[in-house]
């Protein structure tokens, strides 16, 4: 058993786009797990766009990260020592203390995962929080209905690629946007999207109008900004948008312009609704059954962008905000 371990701390709060200097790799003492705790050796950890918000010192739905403390995020690891009954060393668990090599986790703060069904990293993506986000946002928040045409932005990301595939499995026409030609090809050729465009190729409103000449009924927003305005313009009567995130503005240091077409919401009877996946854990069972089944049957696919080494986690996170990933971005610890 080592007596020290390594972790990534928040060295200073980023201003705009995060830089290497905002993070610090630290060597810290490794203690034994206390009563009702386990010691986990992390295998793979998640970097997610929403973490950018927690790096600011503002009140939000989750408290901000603390300076000098390790960052947090989803991780899957192997139990090294256990003081929890029924949990044996060698078991794999999902928990929220990523960004470190070892974590001491209380008994209510982890759950076992079945690595025979899917590799550990899948529980950080398609079978985990991003997958549930896609499921809840599309079905519960946007209230997907038969015949709806679905548009999802950030469609090559962990959430967006699952949104599009759930909609396809349910028989919908699906349009996606992404930030490179390679990603667009991935959406069309591997994931079966009906149409996809690279939002850097022109005005989003024009590109969307071309990809969805009959308009859209549901918009799943991962991007915000110009995408949201374009979607409000394209939504048909009684259209609905699930607002999941706004990666286009996470690094903004000034307020970004808002949609200039909000008045369309009245005449078109549109609904925009923001949501946070953590309000919807009760849907995990239905999600795991439906999406897990499709995954087992090979009906849906996922990609990962894997970065090697805990010390590379800040670069992975910075790259994520730049859109350098296709599918789920994970770090092998």
Q: Which residues of this protein are in contact with a second copy, per CB under 8 A?
A: 53, 60-61, 224, 228-229, 237, 243-246, 249, 255-276, 279
* Minimum CB distance to a second copy, residue 200 (Å): 21
Dig out the tokens for 237 from the structure.
């009567």
* Minimum CB distance to a second copy, residue 88 (Å): 39
Contact 297, 169 (CB under 8 A): no
Contact 14, 86 (CB under 8 A): no
Looking at the Cβ atoms of 1 and 266, the one nearer to a second copy is: 266
The closest alpha carbon to 301, from 184, 169, 213, belongs to 169
Burial of residue 167 (number of CB atoms within 10 Å: 0-12, 13-18, 19+) = buried
Looking at the Cβ atoms of 121 and 162, the one nearer to a second copy is: 162
Looking at the Cβ atoms of 275 and 294, the one nearer to a second copy is: 275
DSSP-derived secondary structure letter, 20: G
Give the span between the Cα atoms of 329 and 331, in whole angstroms. 7
CA–CA distances in Å: residue 254 to residues 244, 249, 250, 314, 322:
21, 9, 10, 24, 18
HSE, CB side, 13 Å, CA atoms: give it for residue 301. Answer: 11
Other Cβ atoms within 10 Å of 242 Cβ, number: 27
Looking at the Cβ atoms of 268 and 283, the one nearer to a second copy is: 268
Looking at the Cβ atoms of 257 and 309, the one nearer to a second copy is: 257
CB within 8 Å of 86: residues ≥ 6 apart: none
* Minimum CB distance to a second copy, residue 208 (Å): 17
Looking at the Cβ atoms of 36 and 256, the one nearer to a second copy is: 256
Looking at the Cβ atoms of 88 and 282, the one nearer to a second copy is: 282
DSSP-derived secondary structure letter, 165: H
* Minimum CB distance to a second copy, residue 244 (Å): 7
Looking at the Cβ atoms of 321 and 330, the one nearer to a second copy is: 321
* Minimum CB distance to a second copy, residue 269 (Å): 5
* Minimum CB distance to a second copy, residue 15 (Å): 18
Other Cβ atoms within 10 Å of 83 Cβ, number: 15
Contact 155, 178 (CB under 8 A): yes
Give the span between the Cα atoms of 186 and 192, in whole angstroms. 9
* Minimum CB distance to a second copy, residue 219 (Å): 13
Give the span between the Cα atoms of 246 and 234, in whole angstroms. 18
Looking at the Cβ atoms of 45 and 272, the one nearer to a second copy is: 272
Burial of residue 278 (number of CB atoms within 10 Å: 0-12, 13-18, 19+) = exposed
């Amino acid at each position: 058993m080592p007596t020290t371990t390594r972790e990534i701390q928040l060295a200073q709060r980023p201003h705009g786009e995060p830089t290497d200097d905002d993070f610090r790799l630290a060597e810290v003492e490794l203690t034994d797990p206390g009563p009702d705790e386990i010691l986990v050796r992390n295998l793979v950890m998640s970097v997610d766009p929403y973490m950018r918000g927690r790096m600011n010192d503002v009140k939000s739905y989750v408290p901000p990260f603390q300076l000098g403390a390790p960052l947090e995020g989803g991780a899957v690891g192997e139990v090294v020592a256990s003081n929890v009954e029924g949990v044996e060393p060698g078991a794999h668990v999902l928990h929220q203390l990523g960004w470190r090599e070892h974590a001491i986790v209380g008994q209510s703060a982890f759950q076992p995962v079945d690595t025979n069904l899917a590799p550990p990293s899948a529980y950080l993506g398609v079978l985990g929080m991003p997958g549930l986000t896609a499921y809840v946002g599309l079905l519960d928040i946007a209230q997907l209905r038969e015949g709806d045409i679905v548009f999802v932005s950030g469609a090559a990301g962990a959430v967006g690629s699952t949104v599009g595939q759930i909609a396809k499995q349910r028989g919908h026409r699906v349009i996606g946007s992404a930030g490179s030609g390679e990603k667009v090809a991935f959406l069309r050729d591997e994931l079966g999207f009906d149409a996809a465009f690279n939002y850097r190729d022109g005005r989003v409103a024009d590109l969307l109008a071309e990809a969805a000449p009959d308009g859209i009924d549901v918009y799943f927003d991962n991007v915000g900004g110009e995408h949201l305005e374009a979607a409000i313009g394209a939504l048909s009567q009684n259209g609905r948008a699930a607002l999941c995130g706004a990666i286009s503005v996470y690094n903004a240091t000034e307020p970004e312009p808002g949609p200039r077409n909000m008045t369309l919401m009245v005449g078109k009877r549109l609904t925009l609704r923001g949501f946070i996946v953590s309000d919807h854990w009760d849907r995990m069972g239905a999600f795991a059954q439906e999406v897990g089944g499709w995954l087992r049957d090979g009906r849906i696919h996922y990609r990962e962008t894997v970065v090697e080494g805990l010390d590379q986690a800040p670069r992975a996170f910075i790259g994520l905000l730049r859109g350098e990933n296709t599918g789920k971005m994970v770090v092998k610890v």
